[in-house]
């Protein structure tokens, strides 16, 4: 029968081994040949867009890369779905955007800010998502 000492060894040993494998896989995922996160194409505008994305908690309603809240549409591949003009209008409008009655806060971004957010969405669109893009992109949907 298992003793307490053996049980402790199982816990500590298992934990150390899995953590080491986990860290190893993390390093592997972001190593140059394996990296698929579109890192090299991050521009200053993308970074500014990401900051705006965070400072306004867009993830509190929308999802991006499938992450966030489920109150407003997924924004991965949004440029493909809506086009830049539509997105800019939503971001810059001084009154609440109300598609089908569900309101979005009127952020009233400047044109520069809207362009930074669009650059951020554009950058997201080129990340390799292991097939998730086929689920959220209309162009890929047609191929299904």
Which residues here bind other proteins, judged by CB under 8 A?
Answer: 2-4, 7-8, 10-11, 14-15, 18-19, 21-22, 25-26, 28-30, 34-39, 42, 46-47, 50, 53-61, 63-74, 96, 99-103, 105, 120, 123-124, 127-132, 135-136, 138, 141
CB of 118 to other proteins, least distance (A): 14
Q: How far is the CB of 90 from other proteins (least distance, A)?
A: 13
CA 112, CA 130: separation in Å to the nearest integer? 32
Between 66 and 111, CB nearer to other proteins: 66
CA-to-CA dists, residue 43 to 10, 17, 52, 88, 116, angstroms: 47, 38, 14, 19, 10
Angle between helices 111-125 and 84-92 (to 10 degrees): 130
Min dist. Cβ of residue 81 to other proteins (A)? 9
Query: If we measure between CA atoms, which residue out of 75, 72, 73, 50 comes closest to residue 64?
Result: 75
Shortest Cβ distance from residue 109 to other proteins (Å)?
13
């Amino acid at each position: 029968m298992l003793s307490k000492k053996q049980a402790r060894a199982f816990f500590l040993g298992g934990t150390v081994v899995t953590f080491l494998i986990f860290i190893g896989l993390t390093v592997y995922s972001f190593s140059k040949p394996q990296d698929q996160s579109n890192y090299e194409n991050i521009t200053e505008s993308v970074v500014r867009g990401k900051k705006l994305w965070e400072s306004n908690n867009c993830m509190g309603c929308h999802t991006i890369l499938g992450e966030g809240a489920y109150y407003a549409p997924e924004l991965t591949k949004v440029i493909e779905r809506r086009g830049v003009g539509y997105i800019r209008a939503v971001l810059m409008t001084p009154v609440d955007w109300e598609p089908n009655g569900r309101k979005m806060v009127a952020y009233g971004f400047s044109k520069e800010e809207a362009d930074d957010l669009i650059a951020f969405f554009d950058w997201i669109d080129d990340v390799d998502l292991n097939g998730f893009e086929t689920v959220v992109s209309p162009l890929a949907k047609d191929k299904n």
